[in-house]
Structure 1
Amino acid sequence: MIELSQVALKLGSAAGEVNILNGIDLKVTAGETVGLVGPSGSGKTSLMLLLAGLESATSGQIRIADAQISGMSEDALALFRRRHVGIVFQSFHLIPTMTALENVAVPLELAGTANPFDLAEAALAEVGLGHRLSHYPSQLSGGEQQRVALARAIAPRPKLLLADEPTGNLDIETGSRIIELLFRLREQVGATLLLITHDPALARRCDRTLRMADGRIISDERLAA
């Protein structure tokens, strides 16, 4: 599902070029769950953005779902994301002027999916928000907004699900419920999951835990059988 070979990312700054990722090699098989941990600034989010095609590597090769995304055009990457990738951000990133139903239906419509609103309604019911279809983000709690974001990510049945600190803006109890929902939905659609977290206990729920530091993967621990 994921194959990275000598992937590097360098970004310019006023002080000169900064190495963000340094020669990342990584293979993840279809259906695996992977927890990505490490201190702030270690490169976790940058790696996720590369996998999502939201950032371009400076060098190296990236294959996702048997597609070589390195060197794809912006339009091609957008089509690739619609078909294969679901993303859950810490800050939800819902469109404030759209209802919960519309937020979930939009990516389905853009992908040309048949009956997008029916599928969006079913996805919201799956996350327990069937009664909140017409509510706007400002009318929803943080936990409800994150559930809308989960429904939006899962509704297209992605092959790869990326979650960047999905409970970071939630209280402990609400965050725990969101995590249970995330793992249950991932299993239902059979997606490969890459989960960025600062919580070692949460990372240990995954099949593997990757630890990053200074733009490199410094350890790769697999869950004991």
Structure 2
Amino acid sequence: MADPVIRLRDAQLTLQGNAGPVDILRGITLEVVRGETVGLVGPSGSGKSSLLMLMGGLERATGGQVHALGQDLTALDEDALARFRLGNMGVVFQSFHLIPTMTALENVATPLELAGADDAFDRAAAELGRVGLGGRLDHYPAQLSGGEQQRVALARAAAPRPAILLADEPTGNLDGTNGQAIMDLLFALSRDHGATLVLVTHDPVLAARCDRVIRLNDGRVDAGVPA
């Protein structure tokens, strides 16, 4: 079996609520190998998005171990985590998280510039062309439809050629037609760039497109579904 690019060992996440500590993730152990596509499914509140955030270092585990590309994410401070994500991970959210005062081209070029790419704008334009927005480079997010904004977010995530793509309900704010187009693009970007893809979804059709499905229930991996 290929070496895992994501590895969790007894990963736990406990957050402080008004009534005391709340156990969000209760000892998750799993591995994801290079080039694999994995769907995280389960009922609302089962911990899917929290697990994705742990994998991306966007949430810090309160117990256990979280490794990505051989790096112990629990040992990094916030600045080091941000640098690690910049060079290795692309993240797509349900809410597009575009910078409203930047054009589509600038939104995609910014992480490339931060990573030190000399050809940031050329690469950004090429990636926007790949997602069908070559004619919308100078448009601001408010001038784009929801489907177009999510295409910009996809281009931004994929342009740095990350080893890992993480997507949290990327079609949740889109209609069926736009959602299907976005998912086709996401799988194509993963395949063409050789990136490992982990996505959270409530859509069984979408989950079925993945190489493997991991079902969560009450903060744990469902023992009935292989992890």
TM normalised by structure 2 equals 0.96
Structure 2 counterpart of 1:190, one-letter code: G
Aligned residues of 1:23 and 1:216 also touching (Cα < 8 A): yes
Aligned position for 1:154: 158
Aligned length: 222
Structure 1 counterpart of 2:34, one-letter code: A
Rounded to whole Å, the distance in 2 between the matches of 1:114 and 1:24 is 40
Q: Among 64, 70, 76, which residue is 1:66 paired with? A: 70
Structure 2 counterpart of 1:131, one-letter code: G
Structure 1 counterpart of 2:113, one-letter code: E
Q: 1:1-225 counterparts in 2 under 5 A?
A: 1-218=5-222, 219-221=224-226
Q: Describe the SS at the equivalent of 2:40.
A: strand
Shift of 1:114: 2.0
Structure 1 counterpart of 2:213, one-letter code: T
Aligned residues of 1:52 and 1:85 also touching (Cα < 8 A): yes
Shift of 1:220: 3.5
Aligned residues of 1:208 and 1:220 also touching (Cα < 8 A): no
**Stretches of structure 1 lacking an aligned partner (at least 5 in a row):** none
Rounded to whole Å, the distance in 2 between the matches of 1:13 and 1:71 is 25
Shift of 1:52: 1.0
Rounded to whole Å, the distance in 1 between the matches of 2:198 and 2:84 is 17
Q: C-alpha root-mean-square deviation of aligned residues, in Å?
A: 1.0
Shift of 1:221: 4.6
Shift of 1:200: 1.1
Structure 1 counterpart of 2:150, one-letter code: Q
Shift of 1:113: 1.5
Q: Deviations over 1:94-127 (max 9, x none)?
A: 0000000000001111111221111100100010
Aligned residues of 1:32 and 1:193 also touching (Cα < 8 A): yes
Structure 2 counterpart of 1:57, one-letter code: A
Structure 2 counterpart of 1:202, one-letter code: L
Identity, in percent, stands at 62
Rounded to whole Å, the distance in 2 between the matches of 1:221 and 1:26 is 10
Q: Describe the SS at the equivalent of 1:12.
A: strand
Rounded to whole Å, the distance in 2 between the matches of 1:63 and 1:25 is 11
Rounded to whole Å, the distance in 2 between the matches of 1:86 and 1:220 is 27
Structure 1 counterpart of 2:27, one-letter code: G
Rounded to whole Å, the distance in 2 between the matches of 1:195 and 1:12 is 26
Q: Deviations over 1:42-88 (max 9, x none)?
A: 00111111111111100111110111111211111000000110001
**Stretches of structure 2 lacking an aligned partner (at least 5 in a row):** none
Shift of 1:198: 0.1
Q: Describe the SS at the equivalent of 2:20.
A: coil
Structure 1 counterpart of 2:192, one-letter code: Q
